């Protein structure tokens, strides 16, 4: 019998799973199979999952009732009788992701197939607003997204918010130094601000969610070991090992931005010196290219100016980018030695700077890796742009559906 160990009291051992648990698990198995193999038939599902044909027929009927699957007609390109093919439906549903950062807020909504329904990017005073003001601003955008989805006759399955900081497994932001937040119950406060909206409200680290986005929406879906690096004022890592996102015991894994790269280097918000994010984050670049410093609300235009100066061959900017790339490569070298990922993906503003930093960072990484050729590690640039963490936030909602948290039948 299938057993369920979640929620068992210490010492009691595994408990028998009831019929509802087993059916929910099997519904999720079928849904995932169709998502990965559509179009496919009921016989394909039975042959690949080990479920018997009667069970598959019942599960498919249930998923069609929930409008998660639909039939697309018959195919005759196979031995035996023509088969009715199945694909994902999900047309009545939406998953919402919001990324909060020091200078902008991105909101996306996707359907069950991951196709974009909405994508907004707005200036946002995340670096200067109080946590209460930020929650109110996020809630306002979330309400607008939900209203738009409602007008399109779509049910929102969940909302996840991506934050650049330490986010525990309950959705509380324990520390977001570049935002000035400490001990903010973001998921709980946002649910209250939305007046208990009837769908799950979650919060997670932006790098974790960027990694999820790369797995589901990027070209790295088949990669089992991947690290995603944010490229903002701060630098964080989302870590995927053996195909699974690794959050650590309390949810705080991936704080690569606070590994010492330059002993005795510039001071960091965390109280230490020479951290990766102060020698390879955007602050390390803009502090030296913008007289008097730059406010969080001005990051994007200043990065654009850096790009223009680099394209024009400005030797000062090119030297700064080379130094940044070297420091970034040292950090990636630590990742390569410690985790041996197949690929490290550079996201955020690193995408715009890639023509001047990627090759140098990769050389530095390879030179500091113990394994030959960096253990096979590749350093690449994200194709998802600024919206990666927001897309990953929506992907977390879709992952919960894939895991069995299904909407009720129509």
Instruction: Give me the average pLDDT of each 10-residue run along the chain (410 residues).
Output: 37 46 91 93 94 95 94 71 88 95 90 93 82 92 96 96 93 89 94 93 96 93 93 90 92 92 90 92 83 66 91 96 96 96 95 96 95 93 90 95 84
**Closest among 137, 127, 108, 133 to 165, alpha carbons compared:** 127
Tens digits of residue pLDDT in 19-30:
568 888 999 999
The 8-class DSSP code of residue 376 comes to: G
So what's the pLDDT on residue 156?
A: 97
Q: Which residue carries 């990484």 as its tokens? A: 365
Percent over 90 (pLDDT), the chain: 70
DSSP 266-303: SB-TTS-BSBHHHHHSHHHHHHHHSTT---GGGHHHHH
Rounded to 10°, the helix 19-37/42-49 angle is 110
Burial per residue of 321-336, b for 16 or more beta-carbon CB atoms within 10 angstroms, e otherwise: bebbbbbbbbbbbbbb
**pTM for this structure?**
0.88
Report the pLDDT value the prediction gives residue 196, as an integer from 0 to 100.
Answer: 87
Tokens 């030959």 — which residue?
372
d(CA 182, CA 55): 49
Q: What's the pLDDT score for residue 221? A: 83
In this prediction, residue 1 carries a pLDDT of 31
Start-to-end Cα distance in the chain: 31
- The answer to whether 23 touches 66, Cβ cutoff 8 Å, is no
Helix, strand, coil % in the chain, rounded to nearest 5: 45, 20, 35
Give tens-digit pLDDT for 142-162: 999 999 999 999 999 999 999
Distance of CA 182 to the CA centre of its chain: 22
Q: How confident is the model at residue 90, as a pLDDT?
A: 84
**Tally of CB atoms within 10 A around 168:** 18
């Amino acid at each position: 019998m299938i057993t369920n160990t979640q929620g068992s009291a210490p010492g009691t051992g595994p408990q028998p799973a009831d019929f509802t648990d087993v059916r929910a698990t099997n519904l999720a198995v079928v849904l995932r199979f169709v998502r990965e193999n559509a179009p496919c038939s009921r016989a394909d599902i039975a042959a690949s999952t080990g479920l018997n044909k009667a069970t598959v027929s019942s599960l498919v009927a249930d998923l069609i009732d929930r409008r998660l699957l639909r039939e697309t007609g018959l195919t005759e390109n196979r031995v035996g009788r023509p088969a009715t093919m199945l694909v994902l439906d999900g047309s009545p549903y939406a998953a919402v992701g919001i990324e909060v950062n020091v200078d902008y807020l991105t909101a996306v909504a996707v359907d069950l197939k991951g196709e974009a329904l909405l994508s907004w990017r707005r200036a946002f005073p995340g670096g200067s607003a109080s946590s209460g003001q930020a929650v109110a601003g996020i809630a306002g955008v979330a309400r607008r997204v939900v209203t738009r989805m409602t007008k399109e006759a779509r049910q929102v399955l969940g909302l996840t918010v991506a934050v650049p900081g330490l986010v525990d497994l309950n959705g509380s932001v324990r520390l977001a130094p570049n935002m000035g937040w400490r001990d903010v119950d973001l998921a709980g406060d946002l649910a209250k601000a939305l007046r208990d909206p009837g769908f799950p409200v979650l919060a997670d680290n932006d790098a974790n969610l960027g990694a999820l986005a790369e797995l589901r929406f990027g070209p790295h879906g088949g990669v089992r070991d991947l690290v995603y690096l944010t490229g903002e004022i701060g630098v964080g890592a989302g870590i995927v090992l053996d195909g699974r996102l690794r959050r650590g015991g309390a949810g705080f894994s991936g704080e690569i931005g606070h590994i010492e790269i330059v002993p005795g280097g510039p001071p960091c918000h965390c109280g230490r010196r020479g951290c990766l994010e102060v020698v390879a984050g955007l602050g390390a670049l803009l502090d030296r290219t913008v007289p008097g410093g730059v406010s969080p609300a001005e990051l994007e235009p200043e990065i654009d100016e850096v790009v223009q100066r680099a394209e024009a061959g400005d030797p000062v900017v090119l030297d700064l980018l080379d130094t940044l790339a070297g420091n970034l490569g040292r950090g990636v070298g630590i990742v390569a030695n410690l985790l041996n990922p197949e690929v490290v993906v550079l996201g955020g503003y690193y995408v715009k700077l890639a023509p001047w930093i990627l090759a140098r960072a990769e050389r530095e990484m390879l030179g500091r890796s113990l394994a030959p050729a960096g253990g096979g590690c590749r350093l690449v640039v994200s194709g998802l742009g600024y919206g990666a963490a927001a897309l990953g936030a929506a992907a977390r909602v879709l992952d919960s559906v894939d895991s069995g948290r299904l909407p009720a039948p129509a």
